[in-house]
Chain A
């Protein structure tokens, strides 16, 4: 049976503890109704598998490199995962609602370019971030309208906007990276808070908490699961399915725009080729985290661990001097693994 209620499983608490924040343990209602039948899918659904995989990766790299298991390196991993995490958190909502948003990588790039251009034109940091978020939201709105009103397939729609948005970023900048000097956004990109925790990591965690609260406690969150689980039944229950999906795409674009501003602040530049291929890592992180591409299932803390697995793998392979070509292979394997597990679970559910 697919689970519709994300943090019902231990992963929620465990993953949260892992990352330094401690949301209240969700009610364990419903667990007692499950038939105690062990299988790979259930094991994975419980979130144990994901943490075991992550622990294994950490142990292996700790043995291979003395630099790996250090505070500084974990803060690096945190910074590295922040952009992916921000985007993947909202992508989780889209995928739960049976959608798909491939345009996020391009949106991150365009938003970064917008940030740089506005700062270079003398705008303030706040205005720059607001415009980046606005551009992202606009892309999300266009995606959402095409998918829910014109009813174009989400894969095709966002593949098209992926290309268009990236193209706009290139045309606008003549394919050049726009550096900006302003100190305005320095804090946002490379600032540190308590315990040296980088600001982007805190931002990412805040996004995850917001998405988690939304999925868990709001009618919108419940509608996302319902739409993904059975769009027809949800429509016939009197819920505006189109609006729910549209909102999910809007939020996905919005968070991609925000992530673009954060990335630009990290780099002190807006680059039209930033975040190329990010969308695939985002989808991989979400699916790895336990969301089903068939919709109706997924939990945002799982997505966080999924994103951490992807980034930690990259970080570890760099530290152990593995060629970047092998990294590509490793990422591909992880992605395949995620999809195979999704498939196994679906087989389980039937």
Chain B
């Protein structure tokens, strides 16, 4: 692709306001045929609004869109579809009770009139899935798959529609490294056929690995647009947050104390096999596993949300046996679950109510909530964690992802637990909020908490952990110490014994 390659998609002076707030202001962008443009920016920078405009879901206030030089009007999703613009959203869109094949071919099931040709359905579904998930059985119900694989199916479906422009909004948010790798290969192949790709992501690693050009949005305006070769990570981050972020990950001297959390012989079916490790006070132990490794199950079993078959959890020398969530909480274990909206928050409740969910005994006397104490605690937490909200009575669903995550974390802080189990604590939150969450984790460790950090982001695991454990096929397969290990070694160990 060169400067003479024709422009496929051109946005000129796009603006969109919600009420008095300008979500997108005067954005002009051009994507050439076969070009992969990464769109970066913090949450609320206007990326998703732009994606929705291209999907025809919301109308723009001013500006023009041209496809292959022709001005077009995107009135509704159907017209965007007809023009060949495919948008893959963060939020998934499938019928849970149908099979993978039915979902992939929804609305275009092959057959004779009303009679479906199931053989053809299976064959076509396999063809569509092949590039991303060759091993996936298309006739299992989609609901039986883990979320990440559902997302793979979703992406495969969108990619199989012939499109001139593909917009992807955080497509790898729930994918494992391997699946993300397959997705990138496919995206590159599509680009090679002339499709223009707008790739929205927080993850700078993948942006730099994949994109030809990076455009940065901040507060709805375009603040940078460079070829990948002409810019650096630091420059992109600075453009995104509007200030210098010297280090994404804080550096600290770690001085772990005595073992505080001990897991002994934890087993659950074929998913967890004899898991045993311990975490010392002030220590961050990173657990890295690919999709299906059982890391999510380990987290839930450790906290008692899933019942293990055998094993024991010991906190501060006192055995909980196999805990229940209630007992785990009282023993001083705090859990920040991976799925913020489904597992972390009661979305209908206010910030205050969500913040006191785990500390109700502390703010009540004989079962009666002491309102003043509750309000005081909530306000303190909001201030200390710098949760950006209009007030503690704001419904928590109104907050941005990063601030929601701080609420889930903040819920535990007032209880001063000694053990934190963090599952993907920075998934889907913007760079600025990530830095704050990392600082917070460091502070907790410095305060003497024993921390288990489960993450599928290797840089995060490598930079944050004092010790790294790899999990594969329900078994711990490796242990590494900080600084003495490379990304590849950890990855090899995580894949290592994944063969059945």
Contact = CB atoms under 8 A, between A and B. Distances in A.
Interface string A233-256: 111111110010000000000000
Contacts of A30: 350, 393-394
B335 A238 contact: yes
A218 interface: yes
Contacts of B325: 235-240
B355 to A, nearest CB: 10
Nearest to A216: B369
A238 B361 contact: no
Interface stretch (B129-137, B277-285, B341-349): B341-349
Given A217-B369, A237-B357, A4 B346 contact: yes
Interface string A272-308: 0000000000000000000000001100000000000
Contacts of B398: 1, 33
Given A33-B391, A226-B353, A238 B326 contact: yes
A243 B367 CA distance: 14
Contacts of A235: 305, 325
B353 A219 contact: no
Given A1-B348, A239-B357, A232 B324 contact: no
Contacts of B371: 27, 217
A99 interface: no
A218 B395 CA distance: 20
Nearest to B365: A219
B303 interface: yes
A234 to B, nearest CB: 7
Contact of A237 (B342, B361, B369, B411): B411
Interface residues of A, number: 33
A219 B359 CA distance: 10
A29 B393 contact: yes
B499 interface: no
Interface string B361-372: 100100111010
A223 B360 contact: yes
Nearest to B326: A240
Nearest to A292: B348
Interface residues of B, number: 38
B461 interface: no
Interface in B252-271: none
A222 interface: yes
B330 interface: yes
A193 B391 CA distance: 46
Nearest to A3: B348
B390 A33 contact: yes
Given A29-B393, A219-B364, A226-B353, A237 B358 contact: yes
Most chain-B Cβ atoms within 10 A of its Cβ — which of A229, A236, A243? A236
Interface centre among A4, A235, A237, A238 (most CB of B within 10 A): A238
Contacts of B347: 229-230
B337 interface: yes
B397 A1 contact: yes
Given A218-B367, A219-B369, A238 B358 contact: yes
A218 B345 CA distance: 20
Interface in A94-112: none
B448 to A, nearest CB: 21
A233 B369 contact: no
A54 interface: no
A61 interface: no
Given A238-B325, A239-B325, A230 B345 contact: yes
Nearest to B363: A219
B55 interface: no
14 contacts: A3-B348, A4-B346, A4-B350, A217-B369, A218-B369, A226-B349, A229-B348, A229-B349, A230-B347, A233-B344, A233-B357, A236-B337, A236-B344, A237-B357
10 tightest Cβ-Cβ pairs between the two chains A and B: A238-B329, A30-B393, A2-B348, A229-B346, A237-B357, A240-B326, A219-B360, A230-B346, A4-B349, A229-B348
Interface of B: 303, 305, 324-326, 328-330, 335, 337, 342-350, 353, 356-358, 360-361, 364, 367-369, 371, 390-391, 393-395, 397-398, 411
